[in-house]
Amino acid sequence: MNEQRKEGIVSSIISGKGGVGKSFITVNLASELGRKGKKVAVIDADMGLSNVATMINQDTPFSVVDWIKGRADLTDVYQKSPYFTLVTVSHDLMHNNVDQYLLLNALDQIVDELRSSHDYILIDSPAGTGSMVFWALDSADYAHLILIDEPSAISDIYKLSKYVLQVSPQYPFCAIVNMAESADHAKRVYERFNEIMNTFQDYSLPYLGGIERDKAVSNAIQQQLPLFKSHQNTTSKLALIKLAEQTILLDTTRAIRINKNIV
Ligand SMILES: Nc1ncnc2c1ncn2[C@@H]1O[C@H](COP(=O)(O)OP(=O)(O)OP(=O)(O)O)[C@@H](O)[C@H]1O
Ligand SMILES: [Mg+2]
């Protein structure tokens, strides 16, 4: 990675509950940032259940665990795709028993390298509250919380953010609403969540934008392509373009380098 040294911004994509669109949003936000001329990397941190590579039909012969186990060089772990650099933590559920200390240290080193060579590094986190989620939160400058209008999804993300705020009261979260019925509906979901955070955590988070439930999303996933490859200007495609614009604005207007100490 002998390129001009950068100071990339790291964000994690978090939800608590599974299946809310983290990987879809990661892939498409990364692709849109790339289309805006930014150099982007994605870390697929879903141990054993990685699917970013599948979503863009990308071959990923080597994972971070392969590097730790001496089956690959570090350079093999940075997979070039047409849209972004992809780092897959592991393809194999059997790797769940890999030494956590070694793995998290290896990932820290990878994040440092990516920061120096990319503008944006997006970490696609697994669902739940495992060590990879806390590592992603700790390594990131801020987190995108993915909300959907379901009580269990809202309560899971609330519990997770409450825990993080107990350890790191200023942790920078921002909200994206997915699978909404309309732009207004998305905004209302955000406002309700922000009100809960205000009332019970004395915390307010910015709204990055909403994505409607859209057949074009399943089509793109089926075709293993980012949304922008479709010629139609679907609501989801336009929403992702806006999200990328807002992401760029957000990064220049928020204080993002704070001491987090979540892990
Ligand atoms: N806006 C949307 N409209 C329609 N379908 C969507 C939308 N967002 C996501 N989906 C669908 O929801 C499913 C889950 O998406 P995705 O895999 O990105 O979720 P996830 O949060 O990463 O899941 P996991 O927690 O298992 O990693 C996908 O099949 C995708 O097609
Ligand atoms: Mg996922």
Q: Is the pLDDT of residue 243 over 60?
A: yes
Question: Which ligand 1 atom is the nearest neighbour of the CA of 146?
Answer: 21
Q: Is the pLDDT of residue 3 over 70?
A: no
State the sign of the Cα–Cα–Cα–Cα dihedral 112, 113, 118, 124.
Answer: negative
Count of positions (residues) in the chain: 263
Mean pLDDT on 32-37: 96
What is residue 226's predicted lDDT score, i.e. its pLDDT?
A: 94
Q: Is the pLDDT higher at 119 or at 93?
A: 119
The residue whose CA is least distant from atom 2 of ligand 1 is 213
pLDDT tens across 50-74, in order?
A: 889 999 999 888 999 999 999 999 9
What is residue 1's predicted lDDT score, i.e. its pLDDT?
A: 42
Q: Is the pLDDT of residue 99 over 50?
A: yes
Q: What is the pLDDT confidence band of residue 96, given thresholds at 50, 70 and 90? A: low
Question: Which ligand 1 atom is the nearest neighbour of the CA of 180?
Answer: 1
What is residue 206's predicted lDDT score, i.e. its pLDDT?
A: 94
Place of tokens 């028993």: 97
Give pTM, 2 decimals.
0.94
Sheet architecture: strand order including 120-124: 79-80, 85-88, 40-44, 120-124, 9-14, 142-147, 173-180, 207-212
Dihedral over alpha carbons 66, 67, 68, 71 (to 10 degrees): 60
Neighbours of ion ligand 2 (CB under 5 A): 22-23
What is residue 255's predicted lDDT score, i.e. its pLDDT?
A: 47
Mean pLDDT on 233-240: 95
Quickly count: other Cβ atoms within 10 Å of residue 125's Cβ.
29
Q: Is the pLDDT of residue 252 over 60?
A: no
The CA 22 to ligand 2 mean position distance, Å, reads 5
Place of tokens 């307010």: 204
pLDDT tens across 182-230, in order?
A: 999 999 999 999 999 999 999 999 999 999 999 999 999 999 999 999 8
What is residue 128's predicted lDDT score, i.e. its pLDDT?
A: 87
Q: Probe ligand 1: pick from 14, 25, 217, 224, max atoms within 8 Å of CB?
A: 217
pLDDT tens across 100-157, in order?
A: 899 999 999 999 999 999 999 999 999 988 889 999 999 999 999 999 999 999 999 9
Q: Is the pLDDT of residue 2 over 60?
A: no
The CA 69 to ligand 1 mean position distance, Å, reads 31
Question: Which ligand 1 atom is the nearest neighbour of the CA of 19?
Answer: 23
**Residues 190, 177: Cα–Cα separation, whole Å:** 7
What is residue 231's predicted lDDT score, i.e. its pLDDT?
A: 84
Question: Which ligand 1 atom is the nearest neighbour of the CA of 236?
Answer: 1
Give, to the nearest 10 degrees, the angle between helix 183-201 and helix 151-167. 40
Q: Is the pLDDT higher at 91 or at 44?
A: 44
Query: Which residues line ligand 1 at a C-beta cut-off of 6 Å?
Result: 15, 18-24, 46, 127, 178-179, 211, 213-214, 217-218, 221, 236
Place of tokens 């879809």: 24
User: Using alpha carbons only, what angle is made at residue 24 by residues 18 and 26, rounded to the nearest 5 degrees?
Assistant: 100
Find the range with the poorest average confidence among 161-170, 239-248, 249-258. 249-258
Q: Is 92 helix (H, G, I), strand (E, B) or coil?
A: coil
What is residue 148's predicted lDDT score, i.e. its pLDDT?
A: 97
The CA 20 to ligand 1 mean position distance, Å, reads 5
Please answer whether residues 139 and 10 qualify as being in contact, where contact means their C-beta atoms are separated by less than 8 angstroms.
yes
